[in-house]
Every structure is written in structure tokens, then in C-alpha cells.
Copies of this chain bind each other. A is one copy, B any other.
Amino acid sequence: MGRGIGSERELVRKLDGLGFAVLRAPASGSRTKLDRPDILAGRKGFCLALEVKTTAKSILYVEKASVAQLLRFSERFGAKAMLAVKFKHKGKGWLLLEPGKLPSTRKGYRIAFKEALKTGKSLESLVAHKLETYLQPS
């Protein structure tokens, strides 16, 4: 489990391909005390703050503090906070999860692959949804 720099670069390329402008945070070695996401991606004013997690297992654990700082950053910035998760051996690509909907444990959050597959969104669907919003203003 971890941020997975190689996987993260692949995620950056995919977001770029979907029309997002993308900024990655510096490597964790230079992490300051300020809150920050792993990736900040924007597309015509719609802004996503992403915490990136990958695993070779079927269950992913995310620390409470990791999600809390993502939410603080996102609220301050004016961005939508999401977890971008990848179960590397499952062949399903990236899934975007809403932090507020994760099942929590005492120390943080527990994300099972099967559950993530049900509730997670693909990168592509996020853009498609946004386009619908543009086309059908309420």
C-alpha cells in the first residue's frame, strides 16, 4: 500500500488526457506541515483534490489523518476532495471515492475492492457527468 509514484504518474497522464490541468505535490520527503493533496486537477473551474492510494491486495486501509488533511485543504481551496484508488492486480483501473462515504474503522477507513467497484466512479464518468451539468443547467 502507498502513494505509488509510478501509478501516480499514470493517473496524471490520464487526467491530462481527459482535459484536466494537473499539478502533483512534491515527493513526500519534502512534505511540509501544510495540508496538501497528492494531486490537484482542474478543468474549466471544476477542481479536484486527490489523495492517491494503490495496493496489490484486496483491501485498502487509509489513515484518518490522511483523509482529514485532504478535506481541510479542499474546503479551503474550494476543490472537490476524492480518493483515487487502484487495486493493482484487479485490472479495473482507477476508482474515485468520496471520502465522506467510506466505511470507517477506529484508526481510519477500510476500502474493500468489491465495495469500491460498486460505489467508485471511473475518471471518465466524472468528466461525462460534468459535461451533462454543462449541457443541462438546472
Contacts and interface: CB of A to CB of B under 8 A. Distances in A.
B43 A16 contact: no
Interface stretch (A34-42, A85-93, A103-111, A113-121): A34-42
Contact of A36 (B23, B27, B45, B78): B23
A68 to B, nearest CB: 14
B26 A76 contact: no
A31 B30 CA distance: 15
Secondary structure at the A interface, as helix, strand, loop or mixed, is mixed
Counting every copy of the chain, the complex holds 2
B23 A78 contact: no
A75 to B, nearest CB: 8
A46 B25 CA distance: 20
Interface in A39-85: 40, 42-47, 73-74, 76-79
B19 A76 contact: yes
Contacts of A77: 20-21, 42-43, 47
Interface of A: 9, 12, 16, 19-27, 30, 32, 34-37, 40, 42-47, 73-74, 76-79
7 contacts: A16-B34, A21-B36, A21-B77, A42-B47, A43-B77, A43-B78, A47-B47
Given A12-B34, A23-B40, A42-B76, 8 more contacts: A21-B35, A22-B34, A25-B26, A27-B30, A40-B40, A45-B78, A46-B78, A47-B47
